[in-house]
Structure 1
Amino acid sequence: MKILVTGSNGFIGKNLIAELKNRGYKEIFEYGRETEEECLDKYCKEADFVFHLAGVNRPKQQSEFMEGNYGLTTTLLDTLKKHKNTSPVMISSSTQSERDNPYGESKKAAENILVEYSKETGAKVLIYRFPNVFGKWSKPNYNSAVATFCYNIAHELPIQVNDTSVIMNLVYIDDVLNELINAMEGKGNKVDEFYEVARVHTITLGEIVDLIYSFKKSRGNILVPDMSDPFIKKLYSTYLSFLPEDKFSYELKMNVDNRGSFTEFIKTRDRGQVSVNISKPGITKGNHWHHTKNEKFLVVSGKGVIRFRKVDTEEVIEYSVSGDKMEVVDIPTGYTHNIENLGNEDMVTIMWANEPFDQDRPDTYYLKV
């Protein structure tokens, strides 16, 4: 299948082309602002499906709305008609097409000419009225408020929010891509006369801003966002795509003494926390037990032994551990336990606890194994 994508250098276009290639589509005609005009003639002659994503969002002059949204659509359809190519045409419109503003009017005009084109030629047309689209590769101060907020907060620039109560309807780029490719394959989500992305996220502007600021703070408090929430998961991925390239990494606080070190890596509100423990040769750590807190130990480097003793018995249980064998050891409640490095090099242990450490309620009681 030969696929024409207009607006190939734009936010949705770049993502769509990347995903089409991921799925094995090889003959993709990319038409963007820098493409020579005569290429459009060749592409319209050969295309089996057209994704018309080119358009204007924020021009310098209002007249450019109609030129970029209606005018280019007219050129595209006229070229398809010239070659008697009635392949399906998908157009990226907007929920603003019903509003009385230059942008909405230009989108509505493009929709109308596409409908007339379908009546005249019999070609299938698929009109998508997208709400705000967010995700990686979007442009700040152009594509969406989400892109602007993510960019500015990641780069420590100020943001301006006039009304935090404004309700936003958003669709995520991956959901958009899935829908568009489904539509090309004959499985589009048609609702009445238009096509829609099924999953729309509704949230206030203020909530979006608060979330993005919490993402920035998470490097300090090492608290991972709630990835069980689909919108938070998608927004966090979007935020990370705007990190400055010299700020991908961040330091953690290492608690170091003559025994080695202990470093908290990540915390969650409902899935506990993960830490990295380094023990020097011959060192034993632990000798405590918990009422409710439970842990999992995974030695990834070095070798040692984990010992257990039920608090009301004298029997000691031993588990040999080594970085040569990826084996998780559960630390049950009610058992005092320790871990000893039996090797000649540092022993590195990944430790998970079912709850973040609470200094006021540590649930940790000293008792030698």
Structure 2
Amino acid sequence: MRVLITGANGFVGKNLRLHLSEREDVEVVTFTRDDDPASLPAMLREVGFVFHLAGVNRPQDPQEFVTGNADLTQILAQAIRAEAESTGRKVPVIYASSTQAARDNPYGLSKRSAEQALFEALRSQQIPVHVFRLPNVFGKWCKPNYNSAVATFCHNIARGLPIQINDPAAPVTLVYVDDVIERFLQLLDGADAQVDAEGFALVAPQYSTTVGELAKRIQGFRDSRDTLTIDRVGTGLIRALYATYVSYLPVETFSYPVPKYGDPRGVFVEMLKTSDSGQFSYFTAHPGITRGGHYHHTKTEKFLVIKGQARFKFRHMQTGETHELVTTGAEPEIVETVPGWTHDITNIGQDEMVVMLWANEVFDRQRPDTFACPL
């Protein structure tokens, strides 16, 4: 299928183009600000689906709201209707409108007029039209210092620049660009329309938060490079915000140093700490060196030798039972320490040993739960 994307160079358009480029069954035709709206009828004769993402939201001249939103959409709607009347082809349309369309400001009025043009022109011909009144969309490639607080906060905080917050308690509703595009593609592939009571297409999940909370979260991502403690970035809004923040990093900050502690045995490096899932680190040991020689009451650890040859020794603190095993970097194998067993690890190879380590809790110097007891 050939699809048309208007506003193909915009924030959502760029993300949509990337997703579509991953498919072999779709060819993309683009319409940008450099193109003449008069070319739309000819473009439509070649496509089977339209993503209408073009729009104006912060012009120098308020009249551009009308020409860039209402008028352009009117031209598109008339061209699609004419195509249906002349050839019988009913080209479905997805339109990225805005929640601002419910307001009586110049931008909202122009978006509402565009919505009406599509509904009136297309539904009379039973042409599928999906109008999304999107809240604040965020994600990679959104323009900072323009109309997105998330983009501005991410861009500035990643560069150590100040941010301005007029009202930290101001509510904000967000939707992640990947979730928007996932719904767009579902409709492209024939999914059933899901609409609200007013007939507007739905996208989920949507997130409710405040401007102050946004700034706090994003600043926390920046601070994690110093504290090594990362937020819970694997699900939901925080996952999407973290991915967005990282996408604004300047190339010169793609990497950052972490502390390294060395002694005659080797080095110990902490990589990452979490609020409730422990920490990750690694250590090295020279040939013949033994590390450990302690036990824990509650703390547990997972060791993975990624280079060299290691001998692990264990002794039960009550029964005196012992256990010994050998692992190597050539055969990945997790060795887990068990509370109440003193343990150590010795490099029995001829080269430096490198071991990755996860502990289920972050090391607390005031309560280390680590008690020396050589084997």
What is the root-mean-square deviation in Å for CA atoms of aligned residues?
Answer: 1.5
1-structure distance, mates of 2:241, 2:23 = 24
Larger displacement relative to structure 2 (79-88 or 157-166): 79-88
- Note the C-alpha offset of 1:353: 0.5
Q: What is the aligned partner in structure 2 of residue 298 from structure 1?
A: 304
| 1:191 partner amino acid | D
- Report matched runs for 1:148-163 at 5 Å: 148-163=152-167
Tell me if the contact between 1:183 and 1:189 (Cα under 8 Å) persists in the aligned partners.
no
Question: Structure 1 stretch 311-320 or stretch 100-109: which is displaced more?
Answer: 311-320
Q: Which amino acid aligns with 1:277?
A: F
Q: Which residue of 1 aligns with 2:91?
A: 87
In the alignment, what sits opposite 1:187? 192
Give the Cα separation in 2 of the matches to 1:258 and 1:40: 72
- Residue 136 (structure 2) aligns with: 132
TM-superposed deviation, 1:21:
2.6
Which residue in 2 is equivalent to 1:339?
345
Q: 1:237 aligns with which of 243, 250, 256?
A: 243
Q: Deviations over 1:132-190 (max 9, x none)?
A: 00111111122411111110111111111100001111001111011111122233322
**1:160 partner amino acid:** Q
**Contact residue 57 and residue 142 of structure 1 kept, 8 A:** no
> Are positions 1:74 and 2:44 aligned together?
no
TM-superposed deviation, 1:39? 5.0
Instruction: Give the alignment's TM-score, normalised by structure 2.
Output: 0.95
- Alignment-derived partner of residue 227 in structure 1: 233
2:53 is matched by which residue type in structure 1?
L
Describe the shift of the 1:71–1:36 C-alpha distance in structure 2 as closer, same or farther (beyond 3 A). Answer: closer
1:254-269 aligned at under 5 Å gives the runs 254-269=260-275
Range 255-264 or range 311-320, more displaced: 311-320
3-state SS, counterpart of residue 97 of structure 1: helix
Q: CA deviation at 1:35?
A: 4.0
Retained in 1: the 8 A contact 2:78–2:121?
A: no
Give 1:34's aligned amino acid.
D
- Specify the alignment match of 1:59 in structure 2: 59
Q: Is the 8 A contact 2:100 2:108 kept in 1?
A: yes
The answer for the alignment partner of 1:360 in structure 2 is: 366
The alignment status of 1:277 with 2:277, answered yes or no, reads no
Distance in 2, matches of 1:324 and 1:279, equals: 17
Letter in 1 for 2:51: F
Contact 1:179–1:189 (Cα < 8 Å) also in 2: no
Partners of 2:362 and 2:81 lie apart in 1 by 64
Q: Residue 304 of structure 2 aligns to a residue in which SS?
A: strand
Whether the 8 Å CA contact 2:37–2:75 is kept in 1: the answer is no
DSSP-derived class of the 2:19 partner: helix
Please give the secondary structure, in 1, of the residue aligned with 2:225: helix
Counterpart-to-counterpart distance in 2, 1:113 and 1:309? 78
SS in 1 for 2:55: coil
8 Å CA contact retained: 1:189, 1:198: no
Number of residue pairs matched by the alignment: 369
1:59 to partner: Cα distance? 1.0
Q: Is the 8 A contact 1:3 1:28 kept in 2?
A: yes
**What corresponds to 2:2 in structure 1?**
2
Out of 300, 312, 320, which is 2:318 matched to?
Answer: 312
Cα distance change on mapping 1:50 and 1:12 into 2, 3 Å: same
- Check the 8 A contact 2:5/2:50 in 1, yes or no: yes
State the distance in 1 between where 2:322 and 2:337 align: 14
C-alpha distance in 2 between matches for 1:46 and 1:229: 40
Tell me if the contact between 1:283 and 1:341 (Cα under 8 Å) persists in the aligned partners. Answer: yes
Aligned to 2:178: 174
**Structure 1 Cα separation of the partners of residues 25 and 144 of structure 2:** 30
Q: How far, CA to CA, are the matches of 1:99 and 1:90 in structure 2?
A: 21
| 1:114 matched residue in structure 2 | 118
CA distance in 2, matches of 1:220, 1:25: 46
Unaligned segments of structure 2, at least 5 residues = none
Aligned 8 A contact 2:101 2:112 in 1: yes
CA distance in 1, matches of 2:24, 2:40: 23
Q: Quote the Cα distance in structure 2 between the aligned partners of 1:83 and 1:311.
A: 82
Which runs of 5 or more residues in structure 1 are unaligned? none
